[in-house]
Amino acid sequence: MSETDPRLRKMFEAVAQAVIAHADELTELDSAIGDGDHGHNMTRGMQAVLGELDALVAKPWNEALKAAGMQLVMKVGGASGPLYGTLVMTLGKSLDTPPTRDGLTAALHAAIEAVMARGKASAGQKTMLDVLVPVSEAVSAGRSPAEVAEVARKACAATKEMLATKGRASFLGERSVGHIDPGARSSQIMIEAIAEQLGDAK
């Protein structure tokens, strides 16, 4: 099957493999302030994407992202499945193909707005948005992939001291403080993998 853009396969593989490699850590984080399924949920979604990889990479970027987002909605489950699915599908709907820097900035902004609307949440509530929002701002500000990855790392670490007011962790109230949010960590892992690919691509 012909590939529209060889970078697409590398990007999907890098993201999926990074998440799968950290599944146990995501499960541990979710065991502390949730129900312990985040590693399993994300692995199921990433394996679905890898299973569809040949068909996905035969599509243009935007169509491939829309299809991958659908896989995430169907396979990840939990609260994070529809949210990551919305993120990736909206990226696909909004991205120009092949992607440009301006196009990526606008698409990321639109995708994060869609996640906020879907989850009725915003930054500051100890969720994936506490990584995604500062990352989107760093991309808008023209930061390099390595700088964006560093923003994501710091933003993820900062969720440790936050009080959860959305999602399952919010049921714990004050006891949610002192643990990194699992969705913030999975977002950071994916962003780091993407940043590494973009950094290598030149």
| Binding stretches for Mg ion (CB under 5 A) | 30, 34-35, 37-38
**What x-and-dash track marks residues 50-79 binding ligand ADP by CB under 6 A?**
----------------------------xx
Site string for ligand ADP, 120-159 (x = CB under 6 A): -x-----xxx------------------------------
> Shortest approach of Mg ion to residue 43 CB, angstroms?
13
Report the nearest approach of Mg ion to the CB of residue 31 (Å).
Answer: 9
Span from 6-14, 53-61, 99-107, 164-172 in contact with ligand ADP (CB under 6 A): 164-172
Q: DSSP letters of the chain?
A: ---S-HHHHHHHHHHHHHHHHTHHHHHHHHHHHS-S-HHHHHHHHHHHHHHTHHHHHTS-HHHHHHHHHHHHHHHT-TTHHHHHHHHHHHHHHH--SS--HHHHHHHHHHHHHHHHHHHT--TTSSSTHHHHHHHHHHHHTT--HHHHHHHHHHHHHHGGGPPP-SSGGGGGGGGGTTS--HHHHHHHHHHHHHHHHHHHH-
**181 is a site residue for ligand ADP (CB under 6 A):** yes
- 181 touches, from Mg ion, ligand ADP, none (C-beta below 5 to 8 Å by class): ligand ADP
